[in-house]
Amino acid sequence: MDPLSILLSRIQMGFTLGMHIIFPVLNIGLALFICIMEGMWLKTKNPEYLRIAKFWTKLFAIPFGVGVVSGIVMSYELGTNFGNFTNAIGEVLGSLFVYEVLTAFFLEAGFLGIMLFGWQRVGPRMHFFATLMVMIGTFVSAFWIMSANSWMQTPSGYTLIDGKYMVNSWLQVLFNPSFLHRFTHMVLATYITASFFIAAVSSWYLLKQRHINMSRIALSFAMWMALILVPLQFMVGDAVGLIVHQYQPLKTAAIEGVWNTQKGAPLVLFAIPDSAQEKNLFAIQIPYGASLINTHQLEGELIGLKSVPPEDRPVVGATFFGFRIMVGIGVLFLASVLIGLWLRIRGKLYTTRWFLWSCVGLGPFGMIATIAGWMTAESGRQPWAVYGLMRTAAGASPVPASHVALTLSAIIIVYVAVLLSCLYYLFKFIRRGPEMTEQEREIAGAFTYMGNP
Interface with other proteins by CB under 8 A: which residues?
Answer: 57-58, 61-62, 65-66, 68-73, 75-77, 79-81, 83-84, 86-87, 90-91, 93-95, 97-103, 105-106, 108-114, 116-118, 120-122, 133, 166-167, 170, 397-400, 403, 406-407, 410-411, 414, 418, 421-422, 425, 428-429, 435
Nearer to other proteins, 72 or 331 (CB): 72
Q: Please, what is the minimum distance in Å from the beta carbon of residue 363 to other proteins?
A: 19
The 8 Å CB, 24+ separation contacts for 101-105 are 103/137, 103/140, 103/144, 104/137, 104/138, 104/140, 104/141, 104/143, 104/144, 105/71, 105/137, 105/141
Is 82 in contact with 395 (CB distance < 8 Å)? yes
Nearer to other proteins, 109 or 332 (CB): 109
Q: Please, what is the minimum distance in Å from the beta carbon of residue 139 to other proteins?
A: 16
Q: Please, what is the minimum distance in Å from the beta carbon of residue 102 to other proteins?
A: 4
Nearer to other proteins, 12 or 376 (CB): 12
CB neighbours of residue 265 within 10 Å: 29
Nearer to other proteins, 159 or 448 (CB): 159
Nearest to 47 by CA among 224, 214, 218, 198: 214
CB neighbours of residue 134 within 10 Å: 27
Q: How many CA atoms lie within 13 A of 193 on its CB side?
A: 28
Q: Please, what is the minimum distance in Å from the beta carbon of residue 324 to other proteins?
A: 33
CB neighbours of residue 126 within 10 Å: 12
Nearer to other proteins, 16 or 336 (CB): 16
Q: Please, what is the minimum distance in Å from the beta carbon of residue 298 to other proteins?
A: 46
Q: How many CA atoms lie within 13 A of 72 on its CB side?
A: 7
Is 399 in contact with 6 (CB distance < 8 Å)? no
Nearer to other proteins, 9 or 215 (CB): 9
Nearer to other proteins, 116 or 232 (CB): 116
Nearest to 430 by CA among 250, 205, 108, 260: 205
Q: What does each C-alpha distance from 5 to 10, 75, 85, 387 come to in angstroms?
A: 9, 20, 15, 22
Q: Please, what is the minimum distance in Å from the beta carbon of residue 35 to other proteins?
A: 17
Q: Please, what is the minimum distance in Å from the beta carbon of residue 302 to other proteins?
A: 38
Cα–Cα distance measured from residue 85 to residue 386, given in angstroms and rounded to the nearest whole number = 9
